[in-house]
Amino acid sequence: MEIDQQLPKDIPTHVAIIMDGNGRWAESRGLPRLMGHRAGTENLRTIIRACGEFGVKYLKLYAFSTENWGRPEDEVKGLMKIFDDVFERELAELIDQGANLKYIGRKDGVSEKMQAQIKHGEEITKDNDKLFLNVAFNYGGRDEIVYAIQRLIEDGVKAEDVSEEMVSDYMFTSGIPDPDLVIRTSGEKRLSNFLTWQTVYSEWYFPDVYWPDFNKDELLKALHEYSNRKRRFGKI
Ligand code: IPE
Ligand code: IPE
Ligand code: MG
């Protein structure tokens, strides 16, 4: 298909991506799954840059779910090593691009080294405002709701004071607008415990390509599709 290289008029403020299909990308080439995860991380720089260029303000990336701990030990270990390398390698580039980094998920469930890296990354980019980059790691949509309820109770909030705005403020994503567009690569069409609370009115887009093949042109296609959607939010 010919891709319209022009930017559509209506650019989503917030794009969230379920980066799926690394394993199948590798298997289809006769490679070990971890090679697919490596290839997937190569793609991050391209997509982060393209979002900055296209005027997307918030980019949320689903990198590791609360259920992904259930994969074989070797794969989980390999993934942790890859994330560690990516963090080291990409931080300077993120600073350079004016990205503001935020971790979304249960920090206490990851290694101390990773916690320190996240803290450093968030601290050093905190004044940047060109692109708000949220990384969902050890993240589960249901876990996030449990986390919010726990903190509401801890804070002694009265039942009658609980509102949708307040619940939103107790999420990991407090202060961040809901995603306008959610992209899930690899042809799978499900939420897999991504932003349960935040995606009630998001537009969905499901390209067939595996995540390592989701390039700038694919992103542009997604933006064009989004700009042709009619969002109604329950109204007419
Ligand atoms: C997504 O790719 C990356 C993570 C979940 C960490 P997968 O590893 O799920 O790839 P497939 O779905 O098995 O192809
Ligand atoms: C969702 O993909 C999680 C991430 C991409 C990080 P999965 O591959 O884990 O989801 P399922 O198991 O196919 O639903
Ligand atoms: Mg998958």
How do residues 4-24 score in pLDDT, each as one tens digit?
A: 789 999 999 999 999 999 999
Could you tell me which residues come within 8 angstroms of residue 232 by beta carbon, excluding any fewer than 6 positions away?
A: none
Ligand 1 centre from 21 Cα, in Å? 5
Q: Is 23 in the pocket of ligand 1 (CB under 6 A)?
A: yes
Q: Which atom of ligand 2 is nearest to the CA of 62?
A: 6
Q: Is 168 in the pocket of ligand 2 (CB under 6 A)?
A: no
Q: Does 205 fall in a domain?
A: yes
Domain tally, the chain: 1
Ligand lying closest to the C-alpha of residue 183: 2
Q: Does 172 fall in a domain?
A: no
Q: Does 150 fall in a domain?
A: no
Ligand 2 centre from 201 Cα, in Å? 21
Q: Is 100 a catalytic residue?
A: no
Q: Does 149 fall in a domain?
A: no
Tens of pLDDT, residue by residue over 77-102, are 999 999 999 998 999 999 999 999 99
Q: pTM of this prediction?
A: 0.97
Q: Does 38 fall in a domain?
A: yes
Distance CA 112, CA 197 (A): 28
> Whose alpha carbon is nearest atom 14 of ligand 2?
192
Q: Does 160 fall in a domain?
A: no
CATH number at residue 61: 3.40.1180.10
Catalytic residue among 68, 134, 138, 193: 68
Helices (H), the chain: 22-27, 33-54, 73-96, 112-124, 141-154, 164-169, 216-227
Residue 56 has pLDDT above 70, yes or no: yes
By the 10 Å C-beta count (0-12 exposed, 13-18 middle, 19+ buried), 199 is classed as middle
Residue 53: domain span? 14-140+178-227
Strands 203-205 and 14-18: what pairing?
Answer: unpaired
Ligand 3 centre from 210 Cα, in Å? 9
Q: Does 104 fall in a domain?
A: yes
Yes or no: say if 170 and 197 are a contact pair by the CB < 8 Å rule. no
Tens of pLDDT, residue by residue over 151-190, are 999 999 999 999 999 999 999 999 999 999 999 999 999 9
Q: Does 168 fall in a domain?
A: no
